[in-house]
Amino acid sequence: MLMTLRRHPLAIALISAMLGVASCLVAGNLLPEPQELKRPLPHQLASSDRQLRMSMGALFGSNYIAGNKVETLVNGIRIFPAMLSAIREARKTISFETYIYWRGAIAEEFAEALSIKAREGLSVKVLLDWVGSLPMDERLIQRMQDAGVEVVRFRPVAWYTLDRVNNRTHRKLLIVDGRVGFTGGVGIADEWNGDARTPEEWRDNHYRVEGPAAAEFQAAFAEHWIEATGQLLLGDRFFPDISLAGDHGAQVVVSSTHQRNTMHLMLMTALAAAQKSIRIATPYFVPDELTRNQLLEARKRGVEIQIIVPGPHTDARIVRKASRHLWGDLLRAGVKIREYQPTFFHCKLVIVDDIWSSVGSTNIDDRALRLNDEANINLFDREFARSQMALFDADAAASRPYTLSDWQNRSSSEKFSDWLSSLARSQI
């Protein structure tokens, strides 16, 4: 074979070119998008400065939209009934996008509720990430499709998706009649179906948004739906006139292909604005160098920083180890890191001072901030921030402090395995 190829230099050149293209595709998929920022943002605008709200509204996602009611749903015992109730009360359209939809009792219940509405003649569209939904029971998809639900896999592996195969949708969006939206951390699986009472019942938050901001959720869904199907969602079925529903002003921020740094820039802007405190809750805390430096700059200003991450119960031990490798400078600077003990901790929450909050699907790692498509909702709202701080403090009370001494006293094998795990941090 080798001798034959040597007689055909053109074939060798063609094969080399094909291998080169394949290598470029693999590298391009694995590497996160380059960061525009080269150093931490200065503390130019404070969290209490009105101009910060105006700037963030202009730069990231939608402007702050008035007239919304935002309800916090704690754990699956409250999250799933609220989502199912909204589905059952739908009159025209249901748009549902999720990364995880697996199997089990709650997966069956959602499939049945969506199927019933499709048989009633509603437009029911379900968009599942191809990778995230691989463990899904295919019977559920068939059941929904037989009932008239449009079930589509997002970015399945094919020749025309090779340039984006590592860019998944991690968004969790449910929009009903274009007026009510849900976002947060939960997937549709029994792991979330409980009240965090045992290790089998995961701890998470989800958020019900009623009012004009729901149109931004619908627009985010429509962006992915047209990519997956070629169909553009138009008309008042999907984008109705929406009355004011509450007092919350909300900004919806989404990251998409070639615009993923939006989330990273938004987070850096918020951290740079902190005056007193930063609270971060995340199941996957693998911050890049810039994020770590932004936190360290805040500590130099005297900002108190608390971070809650999973403890012994986790769905990804490699993430926990890679995260721990990066904690040294943070702990030395006085950042307080706590590991949640009762069960797997899956909440995604950032609170700056007592005024700004960001919730949704985004984790603090390269995959969320520079690879996946995400959706968050931000609020400049002291009452909402206080409610999230109360939840955070309750979770902190159920968490074990991880000290600098703990970090320094890891065994040599732990230090090595933590370092080794951190080498894969852009992908985990």
Catalytic site positions: 170, 172, 177, 346, 348, 353
What is the Cα–Cα distance from 231 to 84, expressed in whole angstroms? Answer: 26
Contacts of 56 (CB under 8 A, 6+ apart): 251, 266, 269, 270, 378
What is the Cα–Cα distance from 14 to 22, expressed in whole angstroms? Answer: 12
Burial group, residue 137, by CB count within 10 angstroms (0-12, 13-18, 19+): middle
Count of residues making up the chain: 428
Conformational region of residue 77, where left means phi above 0, alpha means psi within -120 to 50, and beta covers everything else: alpha
What is the Cα–Cα distance from 283 to 196, expressed in whole angstroms? Answer: 14
Structure tokens at 77: 């015992």
Q: Which of 398, 160, 116 minimizes the C-alpha distance to 281? A: 398
105 and 284 in contact (C-beta within 8 Å)?
A: no
What is the Cα–Cα distance from 176 to 92, expressed in whole angstroms? Answer: 8
CA distance readout (Å), 21 to 12, 17, 369: 14, 6, 26
